[in-house]
Chain A
Amino acid sequence: MSRDAVRHWRAERISALALIPLTLWFVVLILSHLGADRAQIQGWLGRPIPALLAAALVIVTFYHSALGVRVVIEDYVHAPARLRALLSLNVIASWLLALLALGAIATLVVAG
């Protein structure tokens, strides 16, 4: 348990560090392409390097989010059954959303 907490602490901070450049890149990318249609998005997000960065952003975002939401659930939910259910939901939803986003990026690459 204590070793798990150390790993959680470290993982949260390493993912936080990785998110600093990735999220700033994404904000600039979105701002510089406002009003783009689907074909244009395929044009700028479907290229290899932006697609790889976006995929990294998706993975690290949902990893960091799952770690953070887990602590929030652990702090406020005490009934054991509900706690277990919400912790599982957090993991499953994070995985599904990340996979959906990765699938969308892959589709944009293939189409772009």
Chain B
Amino acid sequence: MTPAERPLSPHLQIYKPQLTSVLSIVHRGTGLALSIGAVFIVAWLAAAAWSDAAFALAQEFWGSLIGQLFLLGWSFSFYFHLLNGIRHLAWDSGFGLDLKTTYATGWSVVVLSLLLAVATFAAGLALRGGA
């Protein structure tokens, strides 16, 4: 049997990307990234608790270029999900729902999470250098 020709609902790709929709999907993406990052933190914790060899390997990984890039991406994901999460909590309480405020808080979240990620990374490099 051939399916009836019913109208389909519009697909995502016909919409022009807007700050609101982009930040919504980035919130989901950073949440997933943080869930994956949590696996690495547990591995690091387990290594610290149980094995010298595994701990040495973990420290080597975090010190490597890939490890450092991972940390930078992870701290951006952290600050973005944190700040945008607070934005969501405000919406849930009925605040900041008009278009102008939504855009203002949206751009603030983007700029602040980038700044905080870079600042945290720089603080890490400075503290590590001083240790």
Interface residues of A (CB under 8 A from B): 13, 16-17, 19-20, 23-24, 27, 31-32, 34-35, 37-38, 41-42, 45, 58, 61-62, 65, 68-69, 72, 97, 100-101, 103-105, 107-108, 111
Contacts and interface: CB of A to CB of B under 8 A. Distances in A.
- The interface residues of chain B, by DSSP majority, are classed as helix
Nearest to A109: B49
Nearest to B32: A72
Given A34-B128, A35-B131, A108 B38 contact: no
B14 interface: no
A108 B124 contact: no
A38 B35 contact: no
A20 B85 CA distance: 9
A31 B123 contact: yes
Interface of B: 28, 31-32, 34-35, 38-39, 41-42, 45-46, 48-50, 52, 55, 75, 78, 82, 85-86, 88-89, 92, 120, 123-124, 127-128, 131
A41 B51 CA distance: 13
Contacts of A101: 41-42, 45-46
A24 B116 CA distance: 12
Contacts, number: 75
Contact of B38 (A20, A45, A97, A104): A97
10 contacts: A17-B89, A31-B127, A69-B32, A72-B28, A72-B31, A97-B38, A100-B46, A104-B46, A105-B49, A107-B49
A55 B58 CA distance: 21
A65 B34 contact: yes
Given A13-B92, A23-B78, A108-B48, A97 B32 contact: no
